[in-house]
Amino acid sequence: MLHRADLLDVLRSAVPEDALHAGIEVREVHTDGTVVHAGGVSSADLVVGADGIRSITRRTVFPHAPAPRYAGYRTWRMIAPPRQVRSVETWGKGDRFGYAPLPDGRVYCYAVVRGPEGASGDIHALRRRFADWHDPIPALLDSVADDVLLGHDSYELPDLPSFVSGRVALLGDAAHAMTPNLGQGGCQALEDAVVLGAAGDLGAYDRARRPRAQMIVRRSRRVGVVAHWTSPVAVAARNTAMRLAPGSALIRSMEPVLNWTP
Ligand SMILES: Cc1cc2nc3c(=O)[nH]c(=O)nc-3n(C[C@H](O)[C@H](O)[C@H](O)COP(=O)(O)OP(=O)(O)OC[C@H]3O[C@@H](n4cnc5c(N)ncnc54)[C@H](O)[C@@H]3O)c2cc1C
């Protein structure tokens, strides 16, 4: 488990300083490699649209692509002070709570709660909602400062027919935004980058990446559906099945996601 800020430091340290222009808004991208942005117009042999779930690259190059779909739950993320824990994710009746140690001993925590898009919330509401969950969940929530909560609705992007067009390639969430249930969105963006860097042509990138990324979008969606069941009968059946399944079977079921070589 790695803190996102640490990952960004690693990535940034590999980029020459004068290659990065922060704070320039991109407004339009064209398949001939022209990019209209706040600083003017540029043209390039290759434009990589790595501009996230609301990608302007996707919207201007693939104007008919459907918009991201709300999955029905919101994730609240926070970092708790150092404490001895192992990685755990607990499923309840419609809600979920997970935590995992960071390399420096602090604890990454997340609460996933069902609700309408854009629902508001704060740490006090989370403390109340998870007050009777198992140890150390209430204690973790109590130890978090009131103002360090990140709240994000969960979305997924319906399948695009291609990740490339002309001189433009989509990468990461711009191409295949997924629900966070498998912790794979950022991982898949990194895989895209490795493959794109090595691909002989953009068609090869699309053929290598689209089936895999879209398969993981579907798997992630299925996990979210089961994890957020609320019917007591369905939840009891799910919990029994999870208890009876050997750990090795669960790990094997993740093999198509985790067993990837460039
Ligand atoms: C709650 C939650 C938990 C998650 N947990 C995990 C996890 O455990 N592991 C994992 O691998 N992934 C996880 N993800 C997914 C991960 O955050 C994303 O998949 C990842 O950030 C995608 O990276 P990206 O570079 O494609 O897009 P982004 O990280 O969204 O970056 C896009 C960048 O483009 C910039 N940009 C956008 N539009 C413009 C414009 N017009 N002009 C200029 N710049 C622009 C943005 O400012 C931003 O810097 C999680 C996501 C959520 C919501």
183 touches ligand 1 (CB under 6 Å) = yes
Q: What is the pLDDT of residue 55?
A: 98
Residue 45, CA atoms < 13 Å, CB-side half-sphere: 2
pTM listed for this prediction = 0.95
26 touches ligand 1 (CB under 6 Å) = yes
Question: Using CA positions, which residue lies closest to atom 29 of ligand 1?
Answer: 52
Do domains 4-67+158-224 and 69-155 share one topology? The answer is no
C-beta of residue 156 within 8 angstroms of C-beta of residue 221:
yes
| Residues composing the chain | 262
C-beta of residue 115 within 8 angstroms of C-beta of residue 129:
no
Q: What is the pLDDT of residue 262?
A: 84
184 touches ligand 1 (CB under 6 Å) = yes
The span from the CA of 30 to the CA of 33, in Å, is 6
The span from the CA of 257 to the CA of 178, in Å, is 13
213 touches ligand 1 (CB under 6 Å) = no
The CA 174 to ligand 1 mean position distance, Å, reads 9
pLDDT digits (tens, 9 = 90+) for 102-135: 999 999 999 999 999 999 889 999 999 999 999 9
Under CATH, to which class is 4-67+158-224 assigned?
alpha beta
Q: What is the pLDDT of residue 249?
A: 87
138 touches ligand 1 (CB under 6 Å) = no
Question: Using CA positions, which residue lies closest to atom 34 of ligand 1?
Answer: 51
Atom of ligand 1 at shortest range from CA of 173:
26
How many other C-beta atoms are found inside a 10 Å radius of the C-beta of residue 44? 13
The CA 189 to ligand 1 mean position distance, Å, reads 9
DSSP 79-101: EEPP-----EEEE-SS-EEEEEE
DSSP annotation of 118 reads T
Residue 5, CA atoms < 13 Å, CB-side half-sphere: 4
The CA 182 to ligand 1 mean position distance, Å, reads 15
pLDDT band at 99 (very low <50, low <70, confident <90, very high): very high
Fold that domain 69-155 belongs to in CATH: D-Amino Acid Oxidase; Chain A, domain 2 (3.30.9)
pLDDT band at 200 (very low <50, low <70, confident <90, very high): confident
Judge residue 16's burial from the number of C-beta atoms within 10 Å of its C-beta, 0-12 exposed, 13-18 middle, 19 or more buried.
Answer: exposed
Residue 21, CA atoms < 13 Å, CB-side half-sphere: 8
The CA 258 to ligand 1 mean position distance, Å, reads 20
Domains of the chain, by residue range, sit at 4-67+158-224, 69-155
Mutate to test the pocket of ligand 1, among 173, 181, 188 (most ligand atoms within 8 A of CB): 173
pLDDT digits (tens, 9 = 90+) for 132-176: 999 999 999 999 988 789 999 999 999 999 999 999 999 999 999
Q: What percent of the chain has pLDDT over 70?
A: 100
What's the whole-number mean pLDDT along residues 10-14? 94
State the chain's mean pLDDT as an integer: 95
Q: Which residues contact 190 (CB under 8 A, 6 or more apart)?
A: none
Q: Which residues contact 75 (CB under 8 A, 6 or more apart)?
A: 110, 111, 112, 151, 152, 154, 180
Among 106, 134, 124, smallest CA distance to 3 is for 106
180 touches ligand 1 (CB under 6 Å) = yes
